[in-house]
Structure 1
Amino acid sequence: KQALGEIIIFIDSDLVVTEHFLQSHADALVQAQQRLGCDRLFTYGWVINTCNFDDPTSEPYKITDFSAAYFATGNVAIARKWLLEAGLFDTRFQLYGWEDLELGVRLKQLGLKLIKCPEAVGYHWHPPFSLDQIPRMIDREIQRGRMGVLFYRKHPTWEVRMMIQMTWLHRLLWGILSLGGRLNERTMAPFLQWLIDRGKSQLALEIARIFLNWYNVQGVYAAEREIQG
């Protein structure tokens, strides 16, 4: 609400950008408006995850950096007027997750088109994965599950159910992969630490996502039961 500029650019607080970042977003916005003949659009730049604090921009783009999100505020440029018309962020999202994608649903309803802008690249720095991060990550997944139910209550569509993993398919998938929760932060700790000790912290994180997703799905259904009962 306090922003004065016509274009708002959102980036994560721990995102490192290049000297061409702003110009790349600006050029992509202008070119897309000329090509489409309207300004119902926004640009979405690349976000490359890296643990390299000394030289984050040396990190190449990886398959794990791909995002299918329509509107995620890690690296996006949009006209202020569309945010106002859509109704801004819903402040009921007090816990972690979904406030930007929920706003994205309303922006999509206004007919805004996503314009990919890989030239506007941001390097999302985070420390290498370690076991002491897991309790906070689990709590975040449970929060994400709870906010996912709020998201679905606002937009009760199949698309949103898929996004928040509120389907029997997700419950079955993560239930099978985690052996019904038996593969968890305690039982997996020795193996994850073994990978970390051998310089494979990213692989350890990807494996940990199995039980993290299980916690997320459990959080979704727990929040839904609370609302219904």
Structure 2
Amino acid sequence: MFFSVVTPTYNRQPILEKCLRALENQVFDSALITDYELVVVDDGSTDGTIEWLQAAAAEFPHVRLVERHHQGAAAARNYGVQVAQGDTIVFVDSDVIMPPGSLQAHAQALVDAYQRLGDDRVFTAGRLVNTSNFERPTVEPAKVTDFSNAFFDTANLAIARHWLLTAGLFDTEFSQYGWEDLELGVRLKNLGVTMIKVPEAVGYHYHPPFSLDQIPKMIDQEIQRGRMGAIFYQKHPTREVRMMIQMTWLHRLLWGLLTAGGRLNERTMAPLLRWLIAQGKPRVALELARVFLNWYTVQGVYAAYSELQQQG
């Protein structure tokens, strides 16, 4: 196998450096992975990412830097796949740090699955562990809140390149935050491509410690997620997609009750969240904030879907 690791990035230079150093330090059986490249797609960064990579090129011999105008994650990943030289694509987000054996774990799981199934109609999904430890991200233990059953989460997965091309790559209509990877997952599933979970292919997903000044951006992302969710459902009007995007009466009732109809929000909960953060419990504060963030998502998806219906 020739692995092309596709990593889109936008203004993430400090954590991108950790991501790429970890990928350069991968250890694997050369009979299994004959070679690999790191296709870094810069999506119009303005934080010095390109200049830093050009200056540090000797430290990253596997990196192929390609530059794009800022068009979003879907377009960046598409370009990475199109220029990739490998037969197998590994998607790794630019804020994910992979321990030395993670690529080997993906490769071994793919080979085992190909032999068992008799074809390559499969992709491997690695495990993600969320961490806020910038200095030592890989020491974070796995938590219950890290569990995800998402089909085709591109933070950490591997798939034969030709299946991406057959499915039609990522839909660039998803120009805002959310759903472009899971929507491609629906099309792959319709082609009969299945998912193999590979816990050994672990990636540590870095997020800065939660603080109140992050909330406006997080709310905006949830509203965007709602808009993109409505487009997702318009393309695939199934019960499964409705559940994914939270466009059901159950989600509306659940988050409506938990937020008292929106009265428990970023303003009314700010004192409690601030106190939890001061007590050294930013993770608990974040989980509480997710209650009103989900309410924004649900409100956003219903509003966006109503607009789409009015537009015909």
After TM superposition, is the score higher than 0.5?
yes
Residue of structure 1 in register with 2:110 after alignment: 29
State the shift of 1:81 in Å.
Answer: 0.2
C-alpha contact (below 8 Å) 2:231/2:305 kept by paired residues = no
State the shift of 1:110 in Å.
Answer: 0.6
Paired with 1:43 and 1:172, the residues of 2 have a C-alpha distance of 35
Residue of structure 2 in register with 1:121 after alignment: 202
C-alpha contact (below 8 Å) 2:276/2:282 kept by paired residues = yes
Structure 2 counterparts to residues 115-154 of structure 1, below 5 A: 115-154=196-235
| TM-score when normalising by structure 1 | 0.99
Within the alignment, does 1:43 sit opposite 2:124 as a pair?
yes
Paired with 2:205 and 2:291, the residues of 1 have a C-alpha distance of 22
Match of 2:86, SS state, is coil
Residue of structure 1 in register with 2:283 after alignment: 202
Within the alignment, does 1:5 sit opposite 2:86 as a pair?
yes
Percent identity between matched residues is 70
Match of 1:223, SS state, is helix
Residue of structure 2 in register with 1:211 after alignment: 292
State the shift of 1:38 in Å.
Answer: 1.6
Query: For 2:188, which of 99, 107, 116 is the aligned residue?
Result: 107
Match of 1:182, SS state, is coil
After TM superposition, where is structure 1 displaced by more than 4 Å over at least 4 residues in a row? none
- The one-letter code matched in structure 2 to 1:36 is L
Unaligned runs of 5+ in 1: none
Residue of structure 1 in register with 2:153 after alignment: 72
Residue of structure 1 in register with 2:259 after alignment: 178
* Aligned-CA RMSD value: 0.7
Residue of structure 2 in register with 1:14 after alignment: 95
Match of 1:215, SS state, is helix
- The one-letter code matched in structure 2 to 1:46 is R
Query: For 2:246, which of 160, 165, 170 is the aligned residue?
Result: 165
State the shift of 1:228 in Å.
Answer: 1.9
Which structure has more relative contact order (CA 8 Å, sep 6+)? It is 1
- The one-letter code matched in structure 2 to 1:224 is Y
Within the alignment, does 1:54 sit opposite 2:135 as a pair?
yes
Within the alignment, does 1:188 sit opposite 2:276 as a pair?
no
1:124-149 CA-partner distances (Å, limit 9, x unpaired): 11111000000000000000000001
| TM-score when normalising by structure 2 | 0.73
- The one-letter code matched in structure 1 to 2:106 is H
- The one-letter code matched in structure 2 to 1:7 is T
Structure 2 counterparts to residues 78-93 of structure 1, below 5 A: 78-93=159-174
Match of 2:83, SS state, is coil
Paired with 1:177 and 1:128, the residues of 2 have a C-alpha distance of 24
75-84 vs 53-62, which moves further: 53-62
- The one-letter code matched in structure 2 to 1:99 is E
Paired with 1:60 and 1:110, the residues of 2 have a C-alpha distance of 36
Unaligned runs of 5+ in 2: 1-81
State the shift of 1:189 in Å.
Answer: 0.2
